[in-house]
Chain A
């Protein structure tokens, strides 16, 4: 899967995650606010320039964008048919979102996950009074990114098994092993986080850290292997 950090020595890579995400947000609002495809054209061209500046493989990135743009075309096409919007508007809408996806891809390719997660942690610190724990949220985001390739692979296997057996057979029966595997994986992962010194009470606010909450939850544990 492309779309995750690709290491290069470039000025774009060195920019802070906050700057890049802020820029992406600003560009998005601008492109959506400007009429027609003007913003899309501007954003698309600056995106291509930044891509070159970041020393990223232009052809590969653009090829990766083909699928989402096709999908967008399909979505907006159906919408144009149903709602009767003009084709010029539809084309402009596809162009806008294609340009925005290019910019978003640029940000993900040049920003380390850890930097992105740190940014989230800082941004969500403002929600601390509401009981949000930014450090926990950050860890969960990193874990999610780590497990996407693993689960995508598992889902692909399930789909292949579906095709091999014929889709009309029980799809549910094929999802069950996948889900059971995920729930078992959760047991091991929890143990691994514990073993590596992660302590869910560490980042709790002072005075809310009951000591006996530390450690394994034997009640829920399954016997290993």
Chain B
């Protein structure tokens, strides 16, 4: 059963993910596409809130995007964007946060940044790509290999984000302000 605190934490992290989308994208010189920080929010929500509350946070975010709020990076929103080529990645956000949280609860309960990094890569990158790439392939009508190739460009940026998320999560855990992730 969700406590008032659980509701508040999930809502706050959903708002954080939206806030990360509104900040100017981090331009990375060696990539043609600006890296947006929203998948950083996926990893942070999972790593800090755990599977249930983290997944819920991203579910709230996706619902509000579907309702038409312009919360995706660049001010996009609406059911149309979700049904579009990048929609699979957005729909996979809650799953990514859930997986990150689940793995963190099992394998990275402490403040070890390497373990947290592995967890963020598994949940925030692998799980999200696993949903997003097949969707991209089907909706954009491109063969799966091409969709995979197209995503390679995003991997360095996503790895950087996983590193940032892991370092930040580790530091927050060391600070001891974390609400215990009890059921």
B71 at the interface (CB under 8 A from A): yes
Partner of A140, one of B10, B19, B71, B150: B10
Is A145 positioned at the interface, with any CB of B under 8 Å from its CB? yes
Q: How many chain A residues have a CB neighbour from B under 8 Å? A: 85
Distance, CA A222 to CA B180, complexed state (A): 13
Q: State whether A182 touches B86 (Cβ < 8 A).
A: no
Cβ contacts under 8 Å, B179 to chain A: 183, 186, 220
Closest 8 CB pairs of A and B: A104-B78, A100-B80, A71-B74, A172-B167, A104-B68, A151-B19, A143-B11, A147-B15
Interface residues of A, Cβ cutoff 8 Å to B: 1, 3-4, 21, 24-25, 28-29, 31-32, 64-65, 67-68, 70-72, 74-76, 78-79, 82-83, 85, 93, 96-97, 100-101, 103-105, 107-108, 116, 120, 133, 136-137, 139-141, 143-148, 150-156, 158-159, 167, 170-173, 175-176, 179-180, 182-187, 189-190, 193-194, 198, 200-201, 204, 213, 217, 220, 222
- Fill in one digit per residue for B75-88: 1 if any A CB lies within 8 Å of its CB, else 0: 11111110111100
CB-CB nearest in chain A for B48: A179
A193 vs chain B, min Cβ distance (A)? 5
Chain A residues lying within 8 Å of B138, measured Cβ to Cβ, are none
Q: What secondary structure prevails in chain B residues at the interface with A?
A: helix
Q: Are A68 and B74 interface neighbours, CB within 8 A?
A: yes
Contacts A/B (CB < 8 Å), 12 sampled: A101-B77, A143-B12, A152-B18, A156-B22, A158-B23, A173-B167, A176-B172, A176-B175, A190-B5, A193-B8, A200-B1, A222-B177
* Minimum Cβ distance to chain B for residue A176 (Å): 4
Chain A residues positioned under 8 Å from B26 (CB to CB): 167
A sample of 5 more A-B contacts (CB under 8 A), given A75-B33, A136-B2, A141-B63, is A4-B69, A65-B75, A151-B12, A151-B18, A158-B23
Report which B residues bind A (CB closer than 8 A): 1-5, 7-16, 18-20, 22-24, 26, 32-33, 44, 48, 56, 60-61, 63-64, 67-71, 73-81, 83-86, 140, 142, 146-147, 149-150, 153, 163-164, 167-168, 171-172, 175, 177-180
Which residues on B sit within 8 Å (CB–CB) of A107?
A: 67-68, 78
Main secondary structure, interface of A, reads: helix
Write the chain B residue with the least CB distance to A3.
B70
Asked whether, in the complex, the Cβ of B22 is within 8 Å of the Cβ of A152, the reply is yes
> CB distance A143 to B7 under 8 Å?
yes
User: Are B146 and A83 neighbours in the complex by a CB distance under 8 Å?
Assistant: yes
Could you tell me if A21 and B67 are in contact, using CB atoms closer than 8 angstroms?
yes
From A68, A184, A220, contact of B5 by CB (8 A) = A220
